[in-house]
A and B are shown apart, each in its own frame.
Chain A
């Protein structure tokens, strides 16, 4: 049973455009929702995260929008740049030692 569903699987965006990646979760006990960025040959790195009592969080060009009633959250990358080309994973955690439950990832390509 996949607890975090991520879409799209791949995404191509023109430089300067907005990249949007969506995730939906099933377990209402999740209480922390991070996004990780992974470049080829590297480990994932934490990009931005949100708690369910907040509807939006912005850090630079990256914004998480959170809809608790719909059990959905999304990552928006404004003014997308070629250096943003990477695989992005949404994740969720129960807040304890059970670790992260990851979505399957989105391969993002920003075309110059």
Chain B
């Protein structure tokens, strides 16, 4: 049981490049979400999904896209990377109804030059 996995662990992009951060979970959780963590800012919700085919925006969605084609996978796409998107990105999952008890992945540290 791997829990929540994220790839890559580190990534450096140039301004304007696009990329996809991968997230997968093997706990059969319906709810999945993406957060970004910035120094002194805590974690802020980017997008979330309550099941395959259903996604919605969180607090800071601009510049990011998500899709949910399977229960297991929830990729986060950066359309045109900007330096303001330099951050640590965490994927999390939980059962619907207990969204307060999130299982977090190990994170992806992204630097945009």
Contacts and interface: CB of A to CB of B under 8 A. Distances in A.
Report whether over half of chain B's contact residues are helix, strand or loop; otherwise say mixed: strand
Contacts of B45: 98-100
Nearest to B49: A97
B40 A104 contact: yes
A43 B105 contact: yes
State which size class the interface on A falls in.
20 to 34
Interface residues of B, number: 26
Interface in B85-113: 90, 92, 96, 99-107
Contact of B42 (A89, A96, A97): A89
Contact of B99 (A6, A42, A93): A93
B42 to A, nearest CB: 4
A46 B48 CA distance: 19
26 contacts: A9-B40, A34-B101, A41-B107, A42-B106, A43-B104, A43-B106, A44-B90, A44-B102, A45-B104, A46-B101, A93-B100, A97-B31, A97-B48, A97-B50, A97-B56, A98-B45, A98-B48, A98-B99, A99-B33, A99-B45, A100-B43, A100-B99, A100-B102, A102-B44, A104-B40, A105-B40
